[in-house]
Amino acid sequence: APPHGNGTIWGEVAMADGGTDPAVFTSSTLPSDPRLLATVTNAYLGTRVYRDILHVNGVYNGAVGDTHRADVPSPVNVRINVPGENGLTETFTLNTRTGTFSHLLQLPGYTTTHRIYAHHSLVHILAFSITIKRSTTKGPPVTVQLQMQFTPQSRDLDLHKGQDFQGAQYIYGKTLIPEVKGAPQPTVHMIWTPVPQAVTLPGEEQERTWEFLTTVAESEEEVKKCFSEGTSLIAAGSLYSSHTQAWTALWKGCRVDVDGPLPLRQALYGCLYYLLSAIPPLDSPDFLFHGISPGGLSNGTQGEDYWGHVFWDQDTWIYPNILLFYPEAARAILKYRIRALGGALKNAQEQGYKGAKFPWESAVTGQEVCPEEIYGTQEVHINGDVLLAFEQYYHATQDQKLFREEGAWDVVSMVAQYWCSRVVWSQEKQCYHIKGVMPPDEYHYSVDNSVYTNAVAQRSLNFAAEVACDFQIPVPEEWREVAKKVKVPFDAARNYHPEYDGYSPGKQVKQADVVLLGYPMMYPMSPEVRRNDLEMYEPVTALDGPAMTWSMFAVGWMELKEIQRAQTQLSKCFNNITEPFKIWVENSDGSGAVNFLTGMGGFLQAILFGYTGFRITKSSLNFDPICPDNISKLKVTGVSYLGSKLNFTLTKENVRIKVTKSSRDPQLFPLEAVLVASGQRIPLPEGTVCILSLAVADGFLKAPAPGVR
């Protein structure tokens, strides 16, 4: 099992952490399991440090269930070494503030620093540098060896050597096997600075830095342009600083800071770093984004981390955090689903249904690429998960252009059509059934009326009708009829939701399933039913199940103001965080996917939507905060809602809401806060600071004129 974070210590208030920066993870040794090394990625390129391969956004090789992220040989797989030196100390550091991994060698008289990063804004660039610095102005020459294991070959690409470019080496080649017959086979072009076996600091110099550049693109013209841009920035001394500035800007608009235990603070920075590494850079609306897989771009080679496929993990577990901070990045995720609609239409047709059926596992085409057929045919809740992401975006932004002009309405209407063709009418029960499905709890399959699946189908249909009304499109009567009459199982005697028809209380379940009805689905139920669902499923959920499960139980207990029970569930998440770089593993025994963004996303939601009580609804952003004992302050910087940016600060005494930026058209979205208990309305123009007592801070933000704007 991997070295884990301690699931017990996070509950103690860390008063004396020695001024440790919670955003910087440092160790004198590397983990023995290389899967747990830090990752450096951006939206286009990704690698694990000291790994011989990298991956490229949207570049897969292999047919259907065998399609996987294509391995590209990595020229940044370099280790520094000083043989035969005494008094050597080593430090390995992941700095999440700057998106940089570094290796520091300290010796008597000098230090050597090896720094590696995937440039956040210039996404075609991976770079590393070596800096030797002596403690005196002059001295004997200092030589550092560079150990590089690099062969310009790939099992997934037909690689050819091109002519050297500006003294750098160049290879290119296309993938060997298309995802489906007739699908494109992307070409990868790569140029990199040759790496010598050693670098030497001359005796008369005190310090020198060597910079090494790798650029990857899908055309010769693009890769050469990017390499030239990178070398120009190196010449100007600003390649690295332009990368760190991009990260500074990213963090400025998106932070979660707590005054509380160090492990919690570190977990928050770690989760945000790995998630932010996966999103398109800001102000890049034309970036062709291919979604987020459970292990991110650094993982997903054949046989690893679900082959780099995209699941509901993206839409249900990762996406809500991104939407809350960066709607433009959330939009890029939705555009990925829109581009995949053609494949989804084909999936539905092949399974004998109308409309669109999004794949359980998706690569580029939108056609099903899951290696096992049962998931693709039965785990149909994916359709509702995808549409819930579209609904959350629509309500949080009112971006009608995406729906009217860029294909989102087609996704919404085709999913609604699918659900109408997927249900069957029960004459006996006088309701619609959805039969033969696998719920999120994958221990059970071929069941009828999964409560989660049916509720999310109902949600899809209601949302489709809402958008149609907004756009003055006639709503098919079938949509309203199926939404109204689809069975959502409920046991009135026990006052809880059975997971599916015939579920017996006490039967073990794999992961969060029924509890998702409360959040994120916000399915209407009384607090008693919400409590009963939590009580029923918490003790029968597998302890070694996937990491995101416990965060959803925590959110449920937070809704009921059972703070201690929530903390108990949340503490279980720390068993999935490994040391020293806070890489998450899917299962607490270390098995499953690594760099498990899904688990990180669930954990972040417990903080961002649990402690704050944030809920995105049709007409408002609700808040109903709680402050647990082990935290004295929680500050969420950069919440986005209807074009405004807000900071929320929560303490034991009060909630402070600051509007840092209003919508570009303040007349269009004049935000106000409304308190539930008193009905008090507080206008929130830009620059406003609103302070509410925690005792009465149950309220919502809204624009006074709801509906189509």
Round to whole Å and give the CA distance between 345 and 343: 5
3 state SS of 408: helix
Inter-residue contact 441 to 500 (CB < 8 Å): no
Round to whole Å and give the CA distance between 600 and 270: 9
The tokens describing 134, both together, are 């002596």
The tokens describing 622, both together, are 């609700």
Q: Tell me the sheet residues that pair with 95.
A: 24, 100
Which among 469, 410, 117 is positioned nearest to 273, based on CA atoms?
117
Phi then psi for residue 696, to 5 deg, are -120, 20
Indicate the DSSP class of residue 215.
Answer: E
Which among 295, 417, 383 is positioned nearest to 37, based on CA atoms?
295
Q: Is the peptide bond before 3 cis (omega within 30 degrees of 0)?
A: no
Examine the residue annotation and report whether 442 is marked as an active-site residue of this protein.
Answer: yes
Which among 30, 141, 135 is positioned nearest to 79, based on CA atoms?
30
Which among 165, 122, 145, 267 is positioned nearest to 581, based on CA atoms?
267
Burial (CB < 10 A; 0-12, 13-18, 19+), residue 475, is: middle
Q: Tell me the sheet residues that pair with 53.
A: 73
Which long-range contacts (C-beta less than 8 Å, at least 24 apart) are formed by 523-529? 523/455, 523/459, 523/488, 525/497, 527/559, 527/560, 528/495, 529/495, 529/496, 529/497
**Alpha carbon 196 to chain centroid, angstroms:** 37
Inter-residue contact 452 to 513 (CB < 8 Å): yes
Phi then psi for residue 382, to 5 deg, are -50, -35
Indicate the DSSP class of residue 280.
Answer: P
3 state SS of 85: coil
Inter-residue contact 205 to 136 (CB < 8 Å): no
Rg of the Cα atoms in the chain:
26
User: Quick one: which H or E segment has residue 483?
Assistant: helix 477-485
The tokens describing 679, both together, are 């009905």
Indicate the DSSP class of residue 315.
Answer: I
Inter-residue contact 596 to 590 (CB < 8 Å): no
Torsion of CA 673, 677, 680, 682, to 10 degrees: -20
Cα–Cα distances in angstroms (integers) from residue 708 to residues 238, 290, 472, 668, 678, in the given order: 46, 30, 10, 11, 28
Q: Which of 220, 442, 538, 562 is catalytic?
A: 442
The catalytic residues are 442
